[in-house]
Chains A and B, each alone.
Chain A
Amino acid sequence: MNKVFSFFSDNIEKFSANPEVMLVVGLIFGILIFATLLFFIWGKIKPEANLTELKQRTKSWWMMATIFVAATVFNPVISFVAFGLLSFMALRELASISKNVRDEDRRVLIWCYLAIPVQYFFAYKGWHNLFLTFIPIFMFIWIPFMLILQGTTEGISRSMSVLPTQLMFTVFGISHLGFMLTLPPLEGFHAGGRGLLLFIVFITEMNDVFQFTWGKLLGHIKILPKISPNKTWEGFIGGVVTSSIVGYLLHFLTPLTAIEAMIVSGFIACAGFIGDVVVSAIKRDIGKKDTSDIIPGHGGILDRIDSLAITAPVFFHIVFHMYYLHK
């Protein structure tokens, strides 16, 4: 019992010794409280306004934010398990909706699932090189070989590209979130890995919300009408600008200077947009609006992490190259 207690108190102590992270966690819940109150009062003043979707989304955000904070700020082992589970659910969802998975691919898909614990083990250990090469090199060799062993060649080249790409997206991309936790604090930068993780998740998700909101408020000119009819240039540019400003203000979560953080956040916003439309295109290909209905108001796991799968590696490698490579 004492052990359990000291486990929690130690971790909470570490957490409270990180004022930057605490500040932003406070900010996240502040925004959620504000949004909840706003929609509540708005609904009271204008009962005819249809706020069901917004309310449902906010409710789901509460859930997701709570799970995210609980899984990341306390203990690294819990974080790696949680991100691994997230990768697993995302891969399962992608494989389930993909019409390109043949009957023969079932047995190979198991290897894709098994790659998840290995990838997260490398991330946990901080084995940088193996972490970076395991999927793009080793799995890219192993999966085609396993496909050949199934004994049919019809449609095999398609499976050879579909399965590894799904792995890159759901496992390689998302595992960067966990890998960020292994980055140490630097001189003049105290927030460490948790700060970086919080920064990328916050910027990416806020960017999604901003692009959605600006698009609703001002949107006229469609950006990719055939793929994502709700996306507009106004929403996109509004999202990039707002995300850059938020990045500028939150730069203390990263080793970047304020100006650098602003530029990088602009990049993140563009990358998030790319992830979003790529998953939209996949969904359009199979004729579905949402990948599943596991998160009320948001659709499936993929609909929520599509942008993160792209922004996490982009952000990680920019920061790593600028501040960690030669340290």
Chain B
Amino acid sequence: MKRLTLSLLYCVLMRTFLKVIVGVVYRNREAMKKVPQFVVVANHNSHLDTMALMSACSPGLIANTHPIAAGDYFGQSPMRAFFTRFFVNAILIPRSRPKPGETGPDPIDLMSAQLAKGHSLILFPEGSRGEPEKFQKFKRGIGILLERHSDVHYIPVFMKGLGKSLPKGETLLVPFNSLVLMGDPRKCEAKDVDGIVHEVEAAIRALAAETQ
């Protein structure tokens, strides 16, 4: 049921809407079909980012692909949390790991559990949406996660233009031509957390340089 809803919603409706109305162009969308399990790592400027990446999934994979969303923002009300979980298929996580002595779920464990099930993730290591075409500092979570699951491929993605169509703090969508550029799936070469964070960021920046 959920799988059917998501396939219809994203692979048919949202994809058509994004391509025809918003003007999204995908490049190398086949990257997502090359491996059964992946972690999509992308820059983040707009709510449309998640929509664009979910719409890039093929119907067979979509129910097992989870965008990672911040619990404090998307879990504000039970209604909102339900919508995010059901219609976006998201996993809600706290923004930071519990400090020693604190209780509460560890975000890395939550993501790790999905990967252990064989599911895929969509992750924005910048944390929150930034200004269009500017990078923010990458958070370390992606490094910890990929270090723990070194056999999982990651797919770097650079998105351009969506931050102009629907920037942070705006509610009015104004179509602008946008590009979703995907890199080929790969495994991390670096072995330590900081090295992995650096590697992933470099991969996305390399894609950004291609579009110049």
A residues engaging B (CB < 8 A)?
85, 89, 92-93, 95-97, 103, 106-107, 109-110, 113, 292-294
Contact = CB atoms under 8 A, between A and B. Distances in A.
25 contacts: A89-B23, A92-B23, A92-B175, A92-B176, A93-B23, A93-B177, A95-B176, A96-B23, A96-B161, A96-B164, A97-B177, A106-B164, A106-B170, A106-B174, A107-B172, A107-B174, A109-B174, A110-B172, A110-B174, A113-B174, A113-B175, A292-B25, A292-B177, A293-B25, A294-B25
Contacts of B170: 106
Interface residues of B, number: 12
Interface string B4-26: 00000000000000001001010
Contacts of A92: 23, 175-177
A93 B25 CA distance: 12
A154 to B, nearest CB: 19
A232 to B, nearest CB: 30
A116 B177 CA distance: 17
Contacts of B174: 106-107, 109-110, 113
Interface of B: 20, 23, 25, 161, 164, 167, 170, 172, 174-177
A60 to B, nearest CB: 16
Given A89-B23, A106-B164, A292-B25, A96 B176 contact: yes
A110 B166 CA distance: 12
Contacts of B23: 89, 92-93, 96
B177 A96 contact: yes
A38 to B, nearest CB: 31
Nearest to A108: B174
Contacts of B172: 106-107, 110
A96 B170 CA distance: 18
Give 9 nearest A-B pairs by CB, closest first.
Answer: A96-B177, A96-B176, A106-B174, A92-B23, A92-B175, A109-B174, A110-B174, A93-B177, A292-B177
Contacts of B176: 92, 95-96
Contacts of B20: 85
Contacts of A293: 25
Contacts of B177: 92-93, 96-97, 292
Given A96-B161, A113-B174, 8 more contacts: A85-B20, A92-B176, A93-B23, A93-B177, A107-B172, A107-B174, A110-B172, A294-B25
A36 B12 CA distance: 34
B37 to A, nearest CB: 31
Contacts of A103: 167
A293 B20 CA distance: 15
Report which residue of B25, B170, B174 has the largest number of chain A beta carbons within 10 angstroms of its beta carbon. Answer: B174
A292 B177 CA distance: 9
Contacts of A96: 23, 161, 164, 176-177
B168 to A, nearest CB: 12
A93 B167 CA distance: 18
A153 B58 CA distance: 47
A8 to B, nearest CB: 24
A93 B164 CA distance: 13
Nearest to A97: B177
Contacts of B167: 103, 106
Contacts of A294: 25
A292 B25 CA distance: 10
A147 to B, nearest CB: 14
A159 to B, nearest CB: 14
Nearest to B23: A92
A218 to B, nearest CB: 36
Report which residue of A96, A97, A109, A110 has the largest number of chain B beta carbons within 10 angstroms of its beta carbon. Answer: A96
A292 B176 CA distance: 12
A103 B175 CA distance: 13
A269 to B, nearest CB: 30
A298 to B, nearest CB: 15
Contacts of A106: 164, 167, 170, 172, 174
Contacts of B164: 96, 106
A97 B174 CA distance: 14
B178 to A, nearest CB: 8
A293 B161 CA distance: 15
A89 B20 CA distance: 8
Nearest to B177: A96
Contacts of A107: 172, 174
Nearest to B174: A106
B97 to A, nearest CB: 36
Nearest to B175: A92
